[in-house]
Amino acid sequence: MKKALSMLGSLSLVMVMLFGMKGIVSANEFNWTYFETEDGKWDGESIITTRSKGNVEINLGAKDGRGPTTMGGKRVDGKTLKVRLCNTETGACTSNHLFAGSEDCYATVFDGMRPGTYRIDITDGSSSYRVKGYVRGASS
């Protein structure tokens, strides 16, 4: 009986550690998430930075096999889109960064971010159309 309880306790501890670690990992990165510009919502998920993980890479790309498009379906060059990070605690935002790359995956990196939680804001620079697509991010 003691051996069974000991094994059950060990198994429970392992499960807590696994799920706990998953939460920590997912806080520092998120996989492809749908976004739309000019919808009044943050784009993607939150990114958490630490002293040892202060760089943030943001990608636009190909969860669905293509890059960003207008709401009507016309392809958009991801290099024309801008992105900034906004600190959830202070409300302070970085300057806008342009994306580099190609339709398969556009990317930009924010170097040396202070520890904190950041939201992503992607803009298209035009009031005549809105852009939709997929975004992912990670701190390193």
Contact present, 121 and 56 (Cβ < 8 Å):
no
- The total number of structural domains that make up the chain: 1
Looking at per-residue pLDDT, the higher value among 71 and 92 belongs to 92
**Would you give the distance in Å from CA 58 to the centre of its chain?**
6
* Encoded tokens for 2: 């003691």
Q: Closest Cα to residue 121, out of 67, 42, 58?
A: 42
pLDDT for 63 equals 64
Name the residue with higher pLDDT: 107 or 12: 107
Instruction: Output the pLDDT for position 22.
Output: 37
Distance of CA 133 to the CA centre of its chain: 13
Q: Let me know if residue 46 belongs to a domain.
A: yes
User: Could you tell me the pTM of the whole model?
Assistant: 0.76
> Is residue 102 in some structural domain?
yes
21-72 pLDDT, tens per residue? 333 334 588 898 999 999 999 999 999 999 999 999 999 986 666 788 888 8
Q: Residue 100 has what DSSP assignment?
A: E
Residue 83 · residue 120 · CB < 8 Å: yes
The CATH number of the domain where 130 resides is what? 2.60.120
Q: Indicate whether 53 belongs to any domain.
A: yes
Alpha helices (runs of H) in the chain, residue ranges in sequence order: 2-28
71 lies in which domain range? Answer: 30-139
Closest CA to 109 of 140, 133, 86, 135: 140
Domain contains 10? no
- Tell which phi-psi region holds residue 116, choosing left (phi > 0), alpha (psi between -120 and 50) or beta: left
Element (H, E) at 106: strand 105-110
Percent share of the chain, pLDDT over 90: 56
Number of alpha helices (DSSP H) and beta strands (DSSP E) in the chain:
1, 10
